[in-house]
Chains A and B, each alone.
Chain A
Amino acid sequence: MEKFIMLVLALRMILSVAKYSWTILLRIAHHKHTKVKQDFQLEPTVSILLPCYNEGPDVYESIQTILECDYPVDKFEVIATDDCSKDDSFQWIQRAAADFPGRVVARQNAHNMGKSRTLIGASHVSRSDIIIVIDSDCIFAKDTIRQLVSCFTNPKMGIVGGSVGVRNPNANTLTQVQTFVYYLAFDLWKTMENWTRSVTCVGGYLLAIRRTLFEEIEPRILARNWFGVEVVEGEDRYITHHALLLGYDTYINTEARCWTKAPERYPQFFKQQYRWRKSGIRDLFLSYKLLWKHVGTVSPNGIYYYTISPLTLLTFTLALFIAPLFNPLFFLNPITLVLTLATGAILHWVIGRSCPDQKVRNPLAFALFGFWWVINSFYLTVLCLLTFDFSDWGSRAQKRVKQPKPVLATPPLDEALVAAASAAGD
């Protein structure tokens, strides 16, 4: 059994090394192959959909920075929808609508219905060519919108995402660890997927999608359920997956940048990771359920990322689960610790050179990455597999109460749209 565990761990290690080696080779020697042709003259109409739940004042800052983007004012709008937050989020949305008249549509659902239905309800208000979904705790670079829409030169391009950095990289050790992970996710992991235009998950923090494609996928989003229990999380991964199944390209433009607030507390972080992991596992089941539909539509690289890569991860998790039974001090192996620290040192150097704003003060925090990775792989996977009948807003589900500021204006709610969205969901 110990040999089997070592074999699984070695297999995963070999796949990871191969993946990162190829990624680095692509980035250094064939960088242009990972990029799409961009046309910065493109100026389609854009609706920014901002679903919000318990974000407090962050939502105002998010709206403010997206509105400051370098894009024709008459060609984009922000549709901010509050999903019945328990805090003052809606008041902040209303304040933004008042501060930026005619540019922000402030909405609130009739009842809490989850992110997916909130997005769909907001999309019904929009009439733009491109829909951009953003997170309510992100701030955006001035050229974010232009960078995203400039990638839609090819009609086959269905979804374009951006890269996200951490707004609070040095708030504490937890955010430092996450900074490393975000860098790895966008500057390394996505490179291979960009190469074949088959990014398997464009994150909902910054996701631009053709309106027609969104409308095509919408019924599937509304029909999502787990043996009759509605699934309301992981819509970004779900949308991306179906875009690829419909024959569209998906792409991450790392020049389109935004920054999110990384969770600073472990419970919040745990919920976020739990939500992400669960959506990943749901997606794995979907991949196997629709396996034959992938063939001939999705690139082999994409199929690998949808079917084999998560499977090896699950097997790896199983191996990690079993390993302590044979060697309880398995996780304290000095080689593992040294390798983690060495990787952290290299990453620290690379991040410091390529993204100075993401440089963390304590590179030793990366040692915690290994610890987090084990928890994430081991416990969260088991937990997710056993809680498919439950989904919510994840890290935002906890009430955050801030001192409310004076509300300057309160646009009327579009009750009809809310009702329509609810009806579609039912």
Chain B
Amino acid sequence: MTFEDVRPAINNSVLTMYRIFAVITLYMVLAGVLMFGLVAAFYAVSDSWVAPVILSNADKDTLDLTSKLLVTKTTVDDLRLDIAKLQQTADEATHHRAALEALRPDIDAAIARENREKLETGPELVRLDQQKQSDNVRTQQMLSQLAEVGAQIDKELAAGLINKTEAIQAKMSLAKQTAELTDSKIATTLLKDNILDKTAATTRYLETLDKRAELESEIATLSITIEASQKQIATEEAQVRQFDDAMRTADQTPYVAAMQGGRVDVALIPYDNQKFATPGAPVYDCYLSFIVCRQVGTLRTTFVGEQHATHPIFRTDLRGVLAELELTNPQSAKSKTLFLGSKPLFF
């Protein structure tokens, strides 16, 4: 038996297998194309489907939110601590400023009193100084005549008109007069210092003014510190309020529930399919995409805030909101799509 003898049998076998394979494949391709067309057409017109999502604390979004919430909480705590410190600083500054401000009237009163006294005693001292100087001039003139008196005493002592004791007493009297003139000159000089104190701005007075200026400056600095602290407190308090609002909003998302509770069944409801998205609306799951359906739960609540996802059929960007589902059959959350309101094709 040659190969040519068995060739027809081999050909027939190969052909039979090829034809069986071809028929099955062609029908599968045809069925696939038809199914794809049907599914595409259905989802293009259906307005009740939603895309279920199972959230858990290990989800990327949940983990992201957990991480962000922790960061936010830490930030809020830091802000609150900072606000407390700022408040303390402001309180201390306020107290200090009040103390300084209490000093200011005493200083002002002292300066005023001093000025008033200067006004009163200054001109009088000037007048007395002038009088003193003229007295000194007269005394000086009289003392210049005393030299002759001393010479007369010596002559009278030599002449024996007076004794030595009397001569000494007379000379001591002369010396006393001279010393008194000197004292008077010293007093005049000292008076000039007093006059200068009373009529011109002395360093001591300037020091007083300087201290007053320092006081004013310190009060102003404290005021600035207080104002800055209060502004900073206001800003940080606003930030805390915003963070609190954000955390309150986050608390309303299912991700926080997933973070705390482990698993939450939700569904993305496209904007076009929100007609049946009311609390309590029945949720249906189908065995064959959208055929042979059964109720598997209800819609619990709808969350605010836009969510993005990929269209389960067309793979395009999908926009909508999330809704929490209460499923009696948790496996339904793993379906590609679920339906709200009623069965999509009445069976």
Residues of chain A touching chain B, judged by Cβ–Cβ distance below 8 Å, are: 227-229, 324, 326-329, 379, 382-383, 386-389
The stretch that binds A, out of B12-20, B152-160, B274-282, is: B12-20
Does A228 contact B11, Cβ atoms closer than 8 Å?
yes
Does B15 contact A229, Cβ atoms closer than 8 Å?
yes
The stretch that binds A, out of B181-189, B226-234, B260-268, B310-318, is: B310-318
Does A328 contact B313, Cβ atoms closer than 8 Å?
yes
- In the complex, chain B residues 1-45 whose Cβ is within 8 Å of any chain A Cβ: 7-8, 10-12, 14-15, 18-19, 21-22, 25-26, 29, 33, 36, 40
Does A329 contact B314, Cβ atoms closer than 8 Å?
yes
Q: How far is the CA of A1 from the CA of B55 in the complex (A)?
A: 27
Known: A227-B11, A228-B12, A383-B26. A388 touches B316 (CB 8 A): no
Known: A328-B40, A386-B25, A386-B26. A227 touches B315 (CB 8 A): no
Q: How far is the CA of A275 from the CA of B9 in the complex (A)?
A: 28
Please give 7 more A-B residue pairs, beta carbons under 8 A apart, in addition to A227-B11, A228-B15, A327-B315. A227-B10, A227-B18, A228-B7, A328-B313, A328-B314, A328-B315, A389-B18
Q: How far is the CA of A382 from the CA of B315 in the complex (A)?
A: 25
Does B18 contact A228, Cβ atoms closer than 8 Å?
no
Does A389 contact B15, Cβ atoms closer than 8 Å?
yes
Could you jot down 12 A-B contacts, CB within 8 Å? A227-B18, A228-B8, A228-B15, A229-B15, A326-B315, A328-B314, A328-B315, A329-B314, A329-B315, A329-B316, A386-B21, A388-B18
Specify which chain B residues have a CB less than 8 angstroms from the CB of A328 in the assembled complex: 36, 40, 313-315
Specify which chain A residues have a CB less than 8 angstroms from the CB of B33 in the assembled complex: 379
Specify which chain B residues have a CB less than 8 angstroms from the CB of A326 in the assembled complex: 315
Q: How far is the CA of A326 from the CA of B8 in the complex (A)?
A: 44
Residues of chain B touching chain A, judged by Cβ–Cβ distance below 8 Å, are: 7-8, 10-12, 14-15, 18-19, 21-22, 25-26, 29, 33, 36, 40, 313-316
Specify which chain B residues have a CB less than 8 angstroms from the CB of A382 in the assembled complex: 25-26, 29
Nearest opposing residue in chain A for B11, CB measure: A228
Does A389 contact B314, Cβ atoms closer than 8 Å?
no
Q: Which 10 pairs across A and B sit closest by C-beta, in order of nearness?
A: A228-B11, A386-B22, A227-B11, A227-B14, A328-B314, A227-B15, A327-B315, A386-B26, A386-B25, A329-B314
Q: How far is the CA of A329 from the CA of B310 in the complex (A)?
A: 13
Q: How far is the CA of A382 from the CA of B22 in the complex (A)?
A: 10
Q: How far is the CA of A87 from the CA of B297 in the complex (A)?
A: 65
Q: How far is the CA of A383 from the CA of B30 in the complex (A)?
A: 10
Specify which chain A residues have a CB less than 8 angstroms from the CB of B12 in the assembled complex: 228
Nearest opposing residue in chain B for A387, CB measure: B22
Q: How far is the CA of A379 from the CA of B37 in the complex (A)?
A: 14
Specify which chain A residues have a CB less than 8 angstroms from the CB of B314 in the assembled complex: 328-329
Q: How far is the CA of A326 from the CA of B21 in the complex (A)?
A: 26
Q: How far is the CA of A389 from the CA of B14 in the complex (A)?
A: 11
Q: How far is the CA of A329 from the CA of B315 in the complex (A)?
A: 8
Nearest opposing residue in chain A for B18, CB measure: A389
Q: How far is the CA of A324 from the CA of B32 in the complex (A)?
A: 12
Q: How far is the CA of A283 from the CA of B36 in the complex (A)?
A: 32
A332 to nearest B CB, angstroms? Answer: 10
Nearest opposing residue in chain B for A329, CB measure: B314
Nearest opposing residue in chain A for B7, CB measure: A228
Specify which chain A residues have a CB less than 8 angstroms from the CB of B29 in the assembled complex: 379, 382
Specify which chain B residues have a CB less than 8 angstroms from the CB of A387 in the assembled complex: 22, 26
B45 to nearest A CB, angstroms? Answer: 15
Specify which chain B residues have a CB less than 8 angstroms from the CB of A329 in the assembled complex: 314-316
Nearest opposing residue in chain A for B10, CB measure: A227
Q: How far is the CA of A175 from the CA of B60 in the complex (A)?
A: 54
Nearest opposing residue in chain B for A321, CB measure: B29
A412 to nearest B CB, angstroms? Answer: 37
